[in-house]
Structure 1
Amino acid sequence: MTETTIDLVAKLTNIPSPTGDTANIIQTIANDLKPYGYTPSENRKGSLLVTVPGENTEQERFITAHVDTLGAMVRAIRPDGRLKLDLIGGFRFNAIEGEYCQIHTQIGKTFTGTILMHQTSVHVYKDAGTAERNQDNMTVRLDEKVRTAEETKALGIQVGDFISFDPRTEITPSGFIKSRHLDDKVSAAILIQFLRRLAEDKETLPYTTHFFFSNNEEIGYGGNSNISDQVVEYVAVDMGAMGDDQQTDEYSVSICVKDASGPYHLGLRNHLSNLCDAQSIPYQLDIYPFYGSDASAAMRAGADVKHGLLGAGIEASHAYERTHTDSIEATEKLVNAYLFSTLC
Structure 2
Amino acid sequence: MNFQPNSKETFMLIKELVSIPSPSGNTKQVIDFCEQYLQGLGLDMKRNRKGGLLVTLPGRRTDQHRMLTAHVDTLGAMVKEIKPNGRLKLSMIGGFRWNSVEGEYCQIETETGKNYSGTILMKQTSVHVYKDAGDAKRNEDNIEVRIDERTESADETRKLGIQVGDFVSFDPRVQVTEGGYIKSRHLDDKASTAILLRLIRYLKENEVTLPYTTHFLISNNEEIGYGGNASISPETVEYLAVDMGALGEGQASDEYTVSICAKDSSGPYHYGLRKHLIQLARENNIDYKVDIYPYYGSDASAAIRSGYDIVHGLVGPGIEASHAFERTHETSLINTEKLLYAYVLSSITTIE
* Alignment TM-score, normalising by the size of structure 2: 0.97
2:243 is equivalent to residue 238 of structure 1: yes
273, 276, 287: which one pairs with 1:271?
A: 276
- Return structure 1 stretches of 4+ with deviation > 3 angstroms: none
The 3-state SS of whatever aligns with 1:59 is strand
1:220 matches 2:235: no
Measure, in 2, the Cα distance between the counterparts of 1:35 and 1:115.
Answer: 41
State yes or no: 1:189 paired with 2:189: no
CA distance in 1, matches of 2:233, 2:203: 22
C-alpha displacement of 1:39: 3.3
How much identity, in percent, do the aligned residues show? 61
Is the 2:44–2:57 contact (alpha carbons within 8 Å) kept by the matching residues of 1? no
Q: Secondary structure at the match of 1:135?
A: coil
Number of the residue aligned with 2:43: 38
Does residue 143 in structure 1 map to residue 140 in structure 2? no
Structure 2 residue 232 is the aligned partner of structure 1 residue 207: no
> Residue deviations 1:203-261, cap 9 Å, x none?
11110000001000000111000111100000000000001110100000000000000
Q: What's the CA shift for 1:202?
A: 1.1
The residue number in structure 1 matching 2:161 is: 156
Instruction: Give the match for residue 316 of structure 2.
Output: 311
Instruction: Measure the CA separation in 1 of the matches of 2:43 and 2:13.
Output: 18
SS of the counterpart of 1:268? helix
Tell me what 1:48 maps to.
Answer: 53
Match of 1:14 in 2: 19
Select which of 153, 177, 183 maps to 2:182.
177
Secondary structure in 1 matching 2:44: coil
Residue 264 of structure 2 is matched in structure 1 by: 259
Amino acid corresponding to residue 340 of structure 1 in structure 2? L
How far the C-alpha of 1:149 sits from its partner, in A, is 0.5
AA in 2 matched with 1:298: A
- 1:53-202 counterparts in 2 under 5 A? 53-202=58-207
Structure 2 Cα separation of the partners of residues 319 and 143 of structure 1: 23
* Residue identity opposite 1:27 in structure 2: D
Partners of 2:76 and 2:92 within 8 A in 1: yes
The whole-number CA distance in structure 1 between the counterparts of 2:17 and 2:151 is: 32
Q: Distance in 2 between matches of 1:291 and 1:248?
A: 14
- Deviations along 1:124-168, one digit per CA (max 9) or x if unpaired, are 000000000000000000000000000000000000000000000
The Cα of 1:338 is off from its aligned counterpart by: 0.3
Q: 1: CA distance between counterparts of 2:41 and 2:13?
A: 16
1:339 aligns with 344
Deviation of the 1:40 alpha carbon:
1.8
Please state whether the residue corresponding to 1:36 is helix, strand or coil. Answer: coil
Report the Cα distance in structure 2 between the residues aligned to 1:306 and 1:39, rounded to whole angstroms.
24
Q: Give 1:31 shift.
A: 1.4
**Unaligned ranges ≥5, structure 1:** none
Which residue identity does 2:323 align to in structure 1?
Answer: H
State how many pairs are aligned. Answer: 344
- How many Å separate the matches in 1 of 2:145 and 2:15? 25
State the AA in 1 paired with 2:192. Answer: S
8 Å CA contact 2:263, 2:293 repeated in 1: yes
Any gaps of 5 or more consecutive residues in structure 2?
none
| Shift, 1:308, TM fit | 0.2
Q: Counterparts of 2:46 and 2:253 in 1: how far apart (Å)? A: 34
Shift in Å, 1:46: 0.7
2:69–2:241: 8 Å Cα contact kept in structure 1? yes
CA deviation string 1:277-300 (max 9, x = no partner):
111100000000000000000000
Aligned-partner Cα distance in 1 for 2:238–2:89: 43
Distance of 2:294 and 2:337 partners within structure 1: 25
> For residue 280 of structure 1, what is the aligned residue in structure 2?
285
CA contact (8 A) 2:71 2:189 kept: yes
Deviation of residue 276 (structure 1)? 0.4
Q: Tell me if structure 2 keeps the 8 A contact 1:97–1:116.
A: yes
Partners of 2:201 and 2:215 in 1: how far apart? 15
Q: Is the 8 A contact 1:34 1:40 kept in 2?
A: no
CA distance in 1, matches of 2:218, 2:22: 13
Q: Alignment RMSD, CA only?
A: 1.0
